[in-house]
Structure 1
Amino acid sequence: MGGSYEIKYDISDFERGLGELINRLEQRQPLMRELAAAMHDAVEENFAQQGRPARAGWSPRYVRTRQGGKILQKRGRLVSSISEYHDNDSATVGTNVVYARIHQEGGTITIPARSQRAYYKQHKDGSVGNRFVKKSKSNFSQWNTIGENKITIPACPFLHLTESDVDGMENTAQNYLQRVIDG
């Protein structure tokens, strides 16, 4: 009796399974959608907590003058402008509000010298009050020249992820990969 005895592994099943896995991994839009949503939630939390870590550089007096004591939320335009985008290869969160950059990075704004009409209330004795009033309440106005001035705005990075945000996103990605592998 002749012949040979062998154990043979046919790789075609493995290659087919690997090909299916690669195809599933190439469709990453669901993962990118989850990551964009997680980043959006993190940015909204930054606004809610006035920064994580807390924003520095704002005087307590300034914070008290803000509506509800909230920095960056006078009218809510900036926070409501945050939008998310995702495609197969990226997840993005951002804003197109023009003044967002100065809040994110900080900086100095130079307001040029200018002339403008100011409205006052003139009393019956001829004296003029030293407070501005609305034009409709005024009976006296004059042109004033205001010199150049600078306003320094500390950085308030609202487009920021904390370490725990990043950890959560890494867990989201790992869970997604496990779901893909498990089929």
Structure 2
Amino acid sequence: MAGITLEYQSETALAAISQALAFLAEPATMLRDMGEYLLIAHDQRWATQTSPGGVPWAPLSPAYLKRKRKNKDKILQLDGYLKNTLRYQLAGNELLFGSNRVYAAIQHFGGTVDMPARSQEAYFKRDRSGNVGQRFTKKAQSNFAQRVTIGAYTIEIPARPWLGTSTSDDSELLNIAMRYLQER
């Protein structure tokens, strides 16, 4: 049986493969670009108030909306702490992305919060006729105080997925990786 063996040797091709392998062993630059992209993508998600899949977040409850003092039109944002704590971190060859806020997970997945019973002093303003007003006031502005007890209760928080990637995010992350590999 006759045969032929073709042996291919190319220093250029071997050098390119070696360079790509070396880059993959130290992908910090690529992972930083991916982290920056994730910050931008999540910022846009907070602006549209939608999940990674494009589903609008569950609306605020009427009771909470009534007492929310600012950013009434924004879900998951009172002062912006959760949104403003999104960070990425490189750990070896991994990219970690998320928030260090304790309540981040329950806002994402939803759940039940059990509030314990408590007692406290409530401050009111009494008018000249002696009637006590219905609204709470600051201690310094009040002229009537009353001890109140609030029983234990449960708060149900709906899931509002805010962390993750969409299919377009996945494509862009893949494009970032491919661009880095092509440059090498």
Normalising by the smaller structure, the TM-score range is: 0.7 to 0.9
For 1:71 and 1:10, locate their aligned partners in 2 and report how far apart those are by CA, in whole Å. Answer: 61
1:3 — aligned with what? none
* Aligned sequence identity (%): 34
Whether 1:92 and 2:90 are equivalent positions in the alignment is no
Whether 1:104 and 2:108 are equivalent positions in the alignment is yes
For 1:144 and 1:63, locate their aligned partners in 2 and report how far apart those are by CA, in whole Å. Answer: 24
For 1:88 and 1:120, locate their aligned partners in 2 and report how far apart those are by CA, in whole Å. Answer: 57
For 1:59 and 1:124, locate their aligned partners in 2 and report how far apart those are by CA, in whole Å. Answer: 37
For 1:129 and 1:113, locate their aligned partners in 2 and report how far apart those are by CA, in whole Å. Answer: 25
2:57 — aligned with what? 55
2:37 — aligned with what? 38
Task: Give the CA deviation at 1:113.
Answer: 0.9
Structure 1 or 2, whichever has the larger Rg, is: 1
Whether 1:168 and 2:172 are equivalent positions in the alignment is yes
Task: Give the CA deviation at 1:81.
Answer: 1.0
Whether 1:128 and 2:127 are equivalent positions in the alignment is no
- The answer (yes or no) to whether the contact 1:58–1:154 under 8 Å persists in 2 is no
Whether 1:13 and 2:11 are equivalent positions in the alignment is yes
Structure 2 runs not aligned, ≥5 long: none
1:86-105 per-position Cα deviation (integer Å, ceiling 9, x unaligned): 25522221111122122111
Coordinate RMSD, CA, aligned: 2.7
For 1:173 and 1:21, locate their aligned partners in 2 and report how far apart those are by CA, in whole Å. Answer: 11
- The answer (yes or no) to whether the contact 1:81–1:95 under 8 Å persists in 2 is yes
For 1:8 and 1:139, locate their aligned partners in 2 and report how far apart those are by CA, in whole Å. Answer: 98
Structure 1 runs not aligned, ≥5 long: 1-5
Cα 1:8/1:50, change in 2 over 3 Å: closer
For 1:39 and 1:146, locate their aligned partners in 2 and report how far apart those are by CA, in whole Å. Answer: 42
Cα 1:20/1:126, change in 2 over 3 Å: closer
1:118 — aligned with what? 122
Whether 1:151 and 2:168 are equivalent positions in the alignment is no
Amino acid at match of 2:100: N
Cα 1:20/1:116, change in 2 over 3 Å: closer
For 2:6 and 2:174, locate their aligned partners in 1 and report how far apart those are by CA, in whole Å. Answer: 40
- The answer (yes or no) to whether the contact 2:26–2:93 under 8 Å persists in 1 is no
Structure 1 length as normaliser, TM-score? 0.81
Amino acid at match of 2:129: D
